Structure 1
Amino acid sequence: MKISDIMSTHPVTISPGQTLGEAATIMQRIDTGFLPVGEDDRLVGMLTDRDIALRGVGAGKGPEATVGETMTEDVCYCFDDEEVEAVAQNMGEQQVRRLPVVNRDKRLVGVVSIGDLATRQAVPAAGAALEEIAQPSDLHR
């Protein structure tokens, strides 16, 4: 099964010039803790609620600080034509719960989460990925 079969399509994105306040409002409205950051139809970063809390508020930045000041620039992603099992393994190794999905032109086409793996017929892959994700590590410090 390909990731394109289970991913969430039409992801909401934010631009690096938007504010953390705007990002938080969008996250609240769509009930997510993760926004892909796009510029000129390209994925340039990721912003999580954790980024806002630690790199934003924790570093003394307010709601007017920009997404670009706070986002994670080193983005892990997968391709829409990759096999679910390979992506799940990569999610486990990278200890991430969500990945942006791009096509071979590197245009954002969706997002896949550990929840997508668990609820869309990929339960063994989800379990293996979650087991690795839950292990303590220094990957995201």
Structure 2
Amino acid sequence: MKVSDAMTSQVSTAAPTDSIRHVAQVMAHIDSGVVPVVEGGKVIGLVTDRDIVLRVVAEGQSLDSPISEAMSVGEVLSVREDDVLADATAKMSSHQVRRLVVLNDAGVLSGILSLGDVAKDYGAKQVGKTLEDISAETGAAPH
């Protein structure tokens, strides 16, 4: 099975200058806990509902600040649409993440692969193994 068979292809994105409030409202509207931040056609970061809680709400930051102040920065882990799903779940395990950005052959965002997607299309056993691997290496609760 390929990543494209399991991924969520309807993805809302944000610009780094969008307000934190706007991105939170987008998350609520689309019922998703993650929004990729895109600039110049490239994914430059991800923001999760957890990022907003820990970096904005808990620290008393303004919801009118740009989302770039709340997003996770650094390397955005990705896979390609035609990658094997088992390899993608192994990548999730080894990097201890629950989501991967999916890129097409041109390197453009085409979806997101989450553990939920894997559960629906690949099976609960694989999700359990991946989640166990994500949690085991640090002993921390997954996020």
The TM-score with structure 2 as length reference comes to 0.89
Quick one: distance in 2 between partners of 1:30 and 1:46?
Answer: 16
Cα separation, 2, equivalents of 1:91 and 1:33: 17
Match of 1:5 in 2: 5
- Give 1:25's aligned amino acid: Q
Partner Cα distance (2:84, 2:94) in 1: 16
Q: Unpaired runs of 5+ in structure 1?
A: none
User: SS state of the match for residue 110, structure 1?
Assistant: strand
Q: CA deviation at 1:41?
A: 1.5
Quick one: distance in 2 between partners of 1:137 and 1:106? 31
Could you tell me whether the CA contact under 8 Å between 1:77 and 1:100 is conserved in 2?
Answer: yes
- How many residues align structurally? 140
Q: How well do the aligned residues superpose, as a CA RMSD in angstroms?
A: 1.9
- Give the TM-score normalised by structure 1: 0.90
Instruction: Give the % identical residues.
Output: 34
Following the alignment from structure 1 to structure 2, what is the Cα–Cα distance between the partners of residues 106 and 125? 27
Asked if structure 2 preserves the Cα contact closer than 8 Å seen for 1:35 and 1:48, the reply is yes
Instruction: Name the structure 2 match of 1:34.
Output: 34
**Residue ranges of structure 2 left out of the alignment (5+ in a row):** none
Structure 2 residue identity aligned to 1:91: M
Q: Deviations over 1:3-47 (max 9, x none)?
A: 011111121111100011001111111111110111122111000
Question: Which residue of structure 1 lines up, in the alignment, with residue 98 of structure 2?
Answer: 97
